[in-house]
Structure formats: structure tokens, C-alpha cells
Amino acid sequence: MATLNLHHLRLFRAVAREGTLTAAARALNISQSAVSTQIKALEADLGHDLFERRGRNLVLTEAGRIALDYADQIFRASEQLTATFRAVGGQRKVLRIGALATLSRNFQMGFLGPLLGRDDVEVVLRSGTQGSLLRALEAMTIDVLLTNQVPARDAASPYLVRRIAEQPVSLVGARTRLALAAQGLPVLLARAPLVLPTPETALRAGFDALIERLGIVPRVAAEADDMAMLRLLARSDAGIAVIPPIVVRDELAAGVLYELAQLPGLTEEFYAVTIARTFPNPLLREVLDQTPEPTPAI
């Protein structure tokens, strides 16, 4: 077999990700015919069809899926090599961070604090879903994932999880709710309209367990899976938000919102998820320096 052409392999990887020749050609800024010709050349070298056509889309064959796994490994190694020698050469260092889209922005800023303002550092932030960011972590296009969800794990999972913060959770609302809050937590929970995280979140599960223990049926005014939306709903006085105070730190300091009561035994945990790397990013070591040693996700 002829030596594998890495350019052909890179084009194949792009088509596999984009799903069509047109989209891959646009992403790579080359002609569709050039992409098609070079994919056919790769298939000839490997002796197998890598795609089958379904309507307008190209879908990986079994051979294609195997080839993509190898391609990902090859280009991850290439990226590691480049990043390693850039660091050795003393060039400006880059830390790529993925953060769950619903995660508190104030928490993210606190995590980044040690790096902000440094002339020798560039921070790249990317937000998304847990699944998309875990894939980016495995592809080494980000160095760390910040999340409040422990990733699911099986024997083949590569994730290392550090718990980097634990925040109390409170009932937060506008000034109009202060009189009701003065009557105590059970009255506040039973009579105030509540703005809650959505049921699939760990925070909501803890809250539901708490009110069940207290024998309270809550008045739900709104639900949201995004901390920024919970903050805005509380600001608009749509109800009292179940939220970590760090999320509304600025509003609390300005007197726009008030911490009406802390919810006993209820906290939100924040995690930094990484994978084992031969050449870990030294900037990541700096920001994680004060956190516990990594342990396998459960």
C-alpha cells in the first residue's frame, strides 16, 4: 500500500464531520470537485469505500468509521506535537476552555481570574452542551471542561474530574419578597411563586428532595435550565429564584436582589473535567493548582 496521504485524510475527516462534500469544501475553502477527487484517491489507497450516499448526505460506512477513529488519533497527536513545541519556544501560551452553556458566568470569571490580564496568555472560551464539549475535550480542541454535571463513565471513558468549587444555594428575590421571607423558610417556600431549575438538573433534584422532606407543595412560576435566565426572571420579580448566590453576586451587591434564605443542605458543585495527556497544558496546571487531585468520574 502507498504511504498514506495526510492531506487526503484531513479532507476525509472534514467530510465526515460536515456530512456533505459541499459543506466540507466551504469549510476548507476549496472546490467541491477537489474534495471529491481526493476522497476517491484515499478510498483507492485504503481499498474500501468510506462513505455511502443517503439523499444529499454522505454517511460513513463501517470502514469509514474505523478510518475516522484513526484519523482523529493522528491529528490529535499532531496537535499535541505543535502545542508542545510552541510552549517550549516561549511563544504566547493559550488555554482553551469549554464551559457548559448554562454555567454561571461569575463562576467562570472566578476560575479564569489567575490568567486574566497576563500579557503572555491568551484564553479561548467556548460554550456548548455537555456532549459536544466532552467530544471537544477528547479531540483535544479544548484543554478543560467546566461543568456542574459529572460526566457519565464506563470502562473506556478517559475523563478525569476535579471538584473545584461548592456553592450554597439560596432563595433570591426582589425587595417585594422581604416581608414574606421574614415569616420563615417554610412559609416562603409554600406561599411565594418560585423560579426553579428544570427537572433534569442536579440542583432541581436536590430542591425537590428538600421540599418533599418539608411536606411542601411549591407554587412554580417558571422553570429554566440556564442560570442567566433564572437571574433575569428573579430581577423581573417573576418569582423567587432557587439559585447559587454567586450567579447574582452583582445584583446582591447593588441591592437589586436579596438573599432571602439559604436552603439547608443544598449546594451546587462545579467540576473541571480533563483527560490524561502526555503533554498537559502548563496553564491548566496553574489554575488547578489549588484544587483536589483528579479522580475518575463515577
Q: Kindly report which listed range (62-76, 129-143, 148-162, 246-260) carries the lowest average pLDDT score.
A: 148-162
Q: Stretch 189-202: mean pLDDT, rounded? A: 90
Query: What pLDDT does 170 receive?
Result: 94
Q: Stretch 115-132: mean pLDDT, rounded? A: 86
Instruction: Tell whether 107 is covered by a domain.
Output: yes
Q: Which domain does 213 fall in, by range? A: 166-267
CATH number, domain at 51?
1.10.10.10
Confidence of residue 294 (pLDDT cuts 50, 70, 90): very low
- pLDDT tens per residue across span 229-239: 999 999 999 99
Instruction: Tell whether 86 is covered by a domain.
Output: no
Torsion of CA 83, 290, 268, 149, to 10 degrees: 30
Check whether residue 66 and residue 12 sit in a common domain: yes
Grid cell listed for 211: 421540599
Check whether residue 158 and residue 279 sit in a common domain: yes
Check whether residue 249 and residue 201 sit in a common domain: yes
pLDDT higher than 90, residue 175: yes
State what percent of residues in the chain have pLDDT above 90: 38
Query: What pLDDT does 84 receive?
Result: 63
pLDDT higher than 60, residue 296: no
pLDDT higher than 90, residue 149: no
Grid cell listed for 174: 426582589
CATH number, domain at 123?
3.40.190.10
Query: What pLDDT does 295 receive?
Result: 44
Instruction: Tell whether 84 is covered by a domain.
Output: no
Q: What is the rounded distance in angstroms from the CA atom of residue 204 to the CA atom of residue 202?
A: 5
Instruction: Tell whether 278 is covered by a domain.
Output: yes
Q: Stretch 273-298: mean pLDDT, rounded? A: 71
Query: 94: closest CA among 271, 285, 281, 263?
Result: 281
Check whether residue 257 and residue 283 sit in a common domain: no
Q: What is the rounded distance in angstroms from the CA atom of residue 78 to the CA atom of residue 76?
A: 5
Check whether residue 18 and residue 69 sit in a common domain: yes
Check whether residue 72 and residue 214 sit in a common domain: no
Instruction: Tell whether 215 is covered by a domain.
Output: yes
Check whether residue 159 and residue 20 sit in a common domain: no
3-state SS record for 81-126: HHHHHHHHCCCCEEEEEEEECCCCHHHHHHHHCCCCCCCCEEEEEE
Confidence of residue 99 (pLDDT cuts 50, 70, 90): very high
Check whether residue 232 and residue 159 sit in a common domain: no
Check whether residue 139 and residue 263 sit in a common domain: no
Q: Which of 22-26, 68-72, 188-192 has the largest mean confidence?
A: 188-192
pLDDT higher than 60, residue 2: no
Structurally, how many domains does the chain consist of?
3
Q: What is the rounded distance in angstroms from the CA atom of residue 288 to the CA atom of residue 285?
A: 5
Query: Of 47, 76, 105, which marks where a domain is finished?
Result: 76
Instruction: Tell whether 1 is covered by a domain.
Output: no
Check whether residue 38 and residue 183 sit in a common domain: no
Distance spanning both ends of the chain, measured CA to CA: 43
pLDDT higher than 50, residue 298: no
pLDDT higher than 90, residue 106: no
Instruction: Tell whether 102 is covered by a domain.
Output: yes
Query: What pLDDT does 154 receive?
Result: 67
Check whether residue 107 and residue 60 sit in a common domain: no
Instruction: Tell whether 263 is covered by a domain.
Output: yes
Check whether residue 117 and residue 193 sit in a common domain: no
Confidence of residue 225 (pLDDT cuts 50, 70, 90): confident
